[in-house]
Amino acid sequence: MLFNSLAFAVFLPAVFVLAWSLHRAPLRLQNLLLLAASYLFYGLWDWRFLALLAGSSVLDYTLARLMAERAETERARKRLLILSLGVNLGVLGFFKYFGFFVDQARALLSLFGLDIGTATLEIILPVGISFYTFQTLSYSLDVYRRVVTPTRDLVAFLAFVSFFPQLVAGPIERAEDLLPQFLKRRVFQEARARDALRQILWGLVKKVLIADNLAGAVEVAFGQHATLDGLSLGIGAALFFVQIYCDFSGYSDIAIGAARLLGFDLTRNFAVPFFSRDFTEFWRRWHISLNTWLRDYVFLPLEVSARRRHQVRRRTQPSLPRTPPAWRTAAHMGFVFTLSGLWHGANWTFVLWGALCGLYLVPELLRRRPSAAGVVAQDRMWPTVGELARMVGVNLAITLSLVLFRSKTLGQAGDIYARMVTEPWLAVDHLQWLEPMALAAFPIVIEWFQRRRPHGLDIGHWPQPARWGVYLALIIALVLHGSVESREFVYFQF
């Protein structure tokens, strides 16, 4: 069930009415309703994978309780954690990467004259598996670290893992943030519900009006790259940057708004990333829930381990500096971003995209200077010339990296990069890009003026006539100019 479908337009109000009609009922009954709604939502994609979702949830619920209540030694706790990590990552690896690794093994063996055949097992990728797997993994890791006390309420835990607003494309929630919200009674607040509807509308505008309409121009740029010049290809890459942002952040806005309608607060997943002044700031503002997950569960453990090893070496070599060299931190960051690229998909284009994004961060890490803090031009209307130049530089570099992200093969990406250099300008019609460029500028302009707000349509403080004028204008634009084709969200494939 797509957020941008008529089915969801019926489903969400129905769940809203039923959920709040039970506001005086036992909390377990309310959670059972949300659990049933979430399983129905997911089952409409493919009911066969409901067992996988439920089985993964029950496994981590059970292992977490065993870790906290039955394991008497640290060694026993670690074994339970390894079992959780092994099963979850094994299932994720099988569904997402089995075909990729088989193809790579076949190609490698062919170099030595060995042929293992061309048949490949066709494996359907369960929607959202990368997101809910990371969510349950963080629960097991936090229980092991004693950051979270495991719940004994199985229904609440199952509802936490499968909560339909964020089930298939995040935000990736932590148990310490979302699970307690299932364990306490929720109170309806009209002001929150109104703002939730505004955020849902803004998400639909970004998805249906902007991202889906830009998709056609992006497909032309990447599908016909062999006939286009460097300028057109650069514009196409920039349009894809805006498309994927509006597509994914639009999903996140709808997810956060839908959850707030039901009395829940989800993590903000995007925070005006186009206005970042360095790469560190950009990744603090883009896909926040994934980047903080990788920071807390991959990067920081690597850093802590390196510091411990360094301190051990200093006992025998006092001349060593007090902290590990900056290049080691840069290497850890490069590994994390390469892993992030692999998380996005089983393709070398994603791996190299992640490695390139990690490479962008190296100069900043080696300088060890603090990243830009706060929203740009916090107390001013416009940025300084220096801030504007840095924002342009960051966005240009990210745009170039996204050629890898959008290309289906390394060969296609290489051809596009080559034509950008060798054919920078041809006598082709560049006017075709004016309309999509104007469309792409719309959400960026809106979010500049709303950059201090949680979302682009946070206008509850405006006079009522102005507010309703904006609502009606956006709804009319959606009806008249929204994409007639109901496209899936880009991140569903991950």
127 Cβ contact list (under 8 Å, min separation 6): 42, 45, 46, 49, 168, 492
Handedness of CA 446, 449, 451, 454 (dihedral sign): negative
Distance CA 207, CA 197 (A): 15
SS (H, E, C) the chain: CCCCCHHHHHHHHHHHHHHHHCCCCCHHHHHHHHHHHHHHHHHHHHHHHHHHHHHHHHHHHHHHHHHHHCCCCHHHHHHHHHHHHHHHHHHHHHHHHHHHHHHHHHHHHHCCCCCCCCCCCCCCCCCCHHHHHHHHHHHHHHHHCCCCCCCCCHHHHHHHHHCHHHCCCCCCCCHHHHHHHHCCCCCCCHHHHHHHHHHHHHHHHHHHHHHHHHHHHHHHHHHCHHHCCHHHHHHHHHHHHHHHHHHHHHHHHHHHHHHHHCCCCCCCCCCCHHHCCCHHHHHHHCCHHHHHHHHHHHHHHHHHHHHHHHHHHHHHCCCCCCCCCHHHHHHHHHHHHHHHHHHHCCCHHHHHHHHHHHHHHHHHHHHCCCCCCCCCCCCCCCCCHHHHHHHHHHHHHHHHHHHHHHCCCHHHHHHHHHHHHHCCCCCCCCHHHHHHHHHHHHHHHHHHHCCCCCCCCCCCCCCHHHHHHHHHHHHHHHHHHCCCCCCCCHHHHC
Query: What is the C-alpha end-to-end distance of the chain, expressed in Å?
Result: 16
Distance CA 460, CA 454 (A): 12
What number of other Cβ atoms are within 10 A of residue 438's Cβ? 9
Which residue numbers are catalytic?
A: 344
Distance CA 176, CA 424 (A): 51
The answer to whether the beta carbons of residues 276 and 372 sit under 8 Å apart is: yes
The answer to whether the beta carbons of residues 375 and 391 sit under 8 Å apart is: no
